[in-house]
């Protein structure tokens, strides 16, 4: 699956990884062909092969949150490439510390803990080639979850905050349903209905489509709450 459009300053390739079919995203600057891998949950050789197939040079590793399926392959990718790890927010450090325990539980023994080179805060900017992505702190699913947003391309990688027709779970430690709803409606919706997003699992959608039809956060559902 590819996004955004061919005329955009960025392109993206979605590569589901791990037994949990997590949407790892390879995003790149079309001018420089410098790439970031967002949420390398595992399958590092496959991700490196995808970079080679598209003629890309890895420049960054970006992490939306510290759960195993999103971050379990980060240490291996860092060891192989040496590129910096950016994200998530520091409030997810405890989840990163649990990666090896979680990996043993879910049959992913190669998952390792890591320390980001840069913890991210709301309002930060991360660079990729000659492009910039805005960092939006969206707690709820986890306390340190961040979203990566490219304003010109109307494109976001939202991790497990929002899905087509659903929202992230909030029954994990330090999860918060109220915080999640506030993150979606207060931080994502204002970015515009035309923003296409890659969720942590499942197909892409747009913020506008979810405002119309999502049973948890549509305008109608929230007005009836």
Question: pLDDT tens digit string along 83-117?
Answer: 999 999 999 999 999 999 999 988 888 999 999 99
CATH number, residue 164: 3.60.15.10
Model pLDDT, residue 225: 67
Q: If we measure between CA atoms, which residue out of 202, 205, 207, 74 comes closest to residue 136? A: 207
Q: What is the pLDDT of residue 2?
A: 46
pLDDT, residue 106, reads 87
Regions in the chain scoring below 50 on pLDDT: 1-2
Q: What is the pLDDT of residue 156?
A: 98
Domain residue limits at 42: 2-224
Q: What is the pLDDT of residue 179?
A: 98
Which residues sit opposite 36 in a β-bridge? 27, 60
Q: How far is CA 100 from the centre of its chain?
A: 20
Q: Is the pTM of this model over 0.85?
A: yes
What is the tally of structural domains in the chain? 1
């Amino acid at each position: 699956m590819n996004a955004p459009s061919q005329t955009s300053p960025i392109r993206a390739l979605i590569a589901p990884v791990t037994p949990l079919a997590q949407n790892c995203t390879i995003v790149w600057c079309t001018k420089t062909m410098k790439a970031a891998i967002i949420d390398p949950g595992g399958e590092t050789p496959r991700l490196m092969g995808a970079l080679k197939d598209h003629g890309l040079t890895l420049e960054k590793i970006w992490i939306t949150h510290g759960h195993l399926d999103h971050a379990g392959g980060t240490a291996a990718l860092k060891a192989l490439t040496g590129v910096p790890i950016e994200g998530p927010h520091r409030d997810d450090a405890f989840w990163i510390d649990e990666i090896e325990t979680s990996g043993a539980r879910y049959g992913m023994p190669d998952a390792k803990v890591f320390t980001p080179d840069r913890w991210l805060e709301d309002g930060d900017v991360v660079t990729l080639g000659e492009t910039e992505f805005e960092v939006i702190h969206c707690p709820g699913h986890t306390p340190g979850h961040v979203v990566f947003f490219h304003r010109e391309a109307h494109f976001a990688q939202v991790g497990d905050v929002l899905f087509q027709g659903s929202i992230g779970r909030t029954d994990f430690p330090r999860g918060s349903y109220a915080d999640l709803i506030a993150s979606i409606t207060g931080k994502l919706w204002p970015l515009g209905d035309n923003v296409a997003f890659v969720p942590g699992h499942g197909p892409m959608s747009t913020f506008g489509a979810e405002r119309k039809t999502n049973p948890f956060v549509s305008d109608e559902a929230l007005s009836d709450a």
